[in-house]
Amino acid sequence: MSEVAEPLNNAPETLNRLATPPEPRQIGGTLVWYYSICRRQAWLTAHAILPDEDDPNIVYGRFLHQWYRNTAAPRKSQREVLIAGNRLDLVVQENGHVVVVEVKKSDRFRDSARLQLAHYLLTLEEHGVRTEGELHFPEQKKRERVRLDDALRREVLQVRRDLQDLVEQPAPPPPKRISWCARCAYAEYCWT
C-alpha cells in the first residue's frame, strides 16, 4: 500500500475531491423518449435495470419495427443507423435529402416521439449533418414531418441536461402512477 492517508483536517477537501460526479453518460434517443413519459423508467434504463423483455408491448414493438423495416420502408432505406450512441430506425434518401424516420406503434405519445426524433436530428447536426425527420405511425397510417427549429432545439438541450442530472442520482425517483403504467414493462418492478 503505497498511498498515504491525508490528515483528518483535510477531510472535507479530500471527500469533495473523491466525490466527483460520474462521467457524463451518453444520452440516447430511447432515454429521451422514456424521460418525457416517465422519469423513473428513464433512470432504470440508464442504470441497466432491464424491463421484462417478454412483455407483450416490447415483443410487439420489436415485431412492428422489424416488419416495417422489411416490408413497408422505402427501398433506399438504410436499416438501424447507429450514430453517437443512438439507434435510428431508418434513414431514407428522399429527393437528394436524408430523412430520419422514427417508427412508433401509435401517436398516443406523439410529443415524446417528436422529442426523441428531435434529439436524433440535433445529434446529427452536432456531427455536421442538417436534416429533417418524419414520425411514422403505421397502424394509424399517419406521418408527421419534424423540423429542428430553435424552440425544439432549446427543448432538446434542456431535456438532455435534465436527463443527465436524473441519471446521476443514486436512486430512481419513486414510482408515480401514470397512464403509461398499464403498458409498461417495468410495472412489476414499480408496483409489486
Region of residue 124 (left: phi > 0; alpha: psi -120 to 50; beta: else) = alpha
145 contacts 137 by C-beta, under 8 angstroms: no
- Is residue 149 one of the residues assigned to a domain? yes
- Is residue 4 one of the residues assigned to a domain? no
- Is residue 6 one of the residues assigned to a domain? no
Which strand (E) or helix (H) includes residue 62? helix 56-67
What whole-number distance in Å separates Cα of residue 59 and Cα of residue 51?
A: 12
Q: Which residues pair with 146 in a beta bridge?
A: 133
What's the confidence (pLDDT) of residue 76?
61
- Is residue 157 one of the residues assigned to a domain? yes
* Domain harbouring 64, CATH code: 3.90.320.10
pLDDT band at 132, cuts 50/70/90?
Answer: very high
Q: Residue 74 is part of which domain span?
A: 26-170+178-191
Tens of pLDDT, residues 60-85: 878 877 777 777 666 666 667 888 88
Tens of pLDDT, residues 112-126: 999 999 999 999 999
34 contacts 45 by C-beta, under 8 angstroms: yes
Q: Highest mean pLDDT: which of 14-18, 127-131, 185-189?
A: 127-131
Instruction: Tell me what the mean pLDDT of segment 131-154 comes to.
Output: 94
- Is residue 10 one of the residues assigned to a domain? no
- Is residue 31 one of the residues assigned to a domain? yes
What's the confidence (pLDDT) of residue 78?
66
**18-27, 60-69, 118-127, 168-177: least confident range:** 18-27
Q: Report whether pLDDT(33) > 50.
A: yes
The total number of structural domains in the chain stands at 1
What whole-number distance in Å separates Cα of residue 119 and Cα of residue 108?
A: 19
Grid cell at residue 31? 432515454
Q: Report whether pLDDT(151) > 70.
A: yes
Cite the beta strand spans of 38-153 per DSSP E. 78-83, 86-94, 97-103, 132-137, 142-146
Q: Report whether pLDDT(5) > 60.
A: no
Q: How far is CA 74 from the centre of its chain?
A: 25
What whole-number distance in Å separates Cα of residue 30 and Cα of residue 43?
A: 12
Amino acid sitting at position 114: R
- Is residue 108 one of the residues assigned to a domain? yes
What whole-number distance in Å separates Cα of residue 69 and Cα of residue 182?
A: 27
- Is residue 8 one of the residues assigned to a domain? no
What whole-number distance in Å separates Cα of residue 96 and Cα of residue 73?
A: 17
pLDDT band at 147, cuts 50/70/90?
Answer: very high
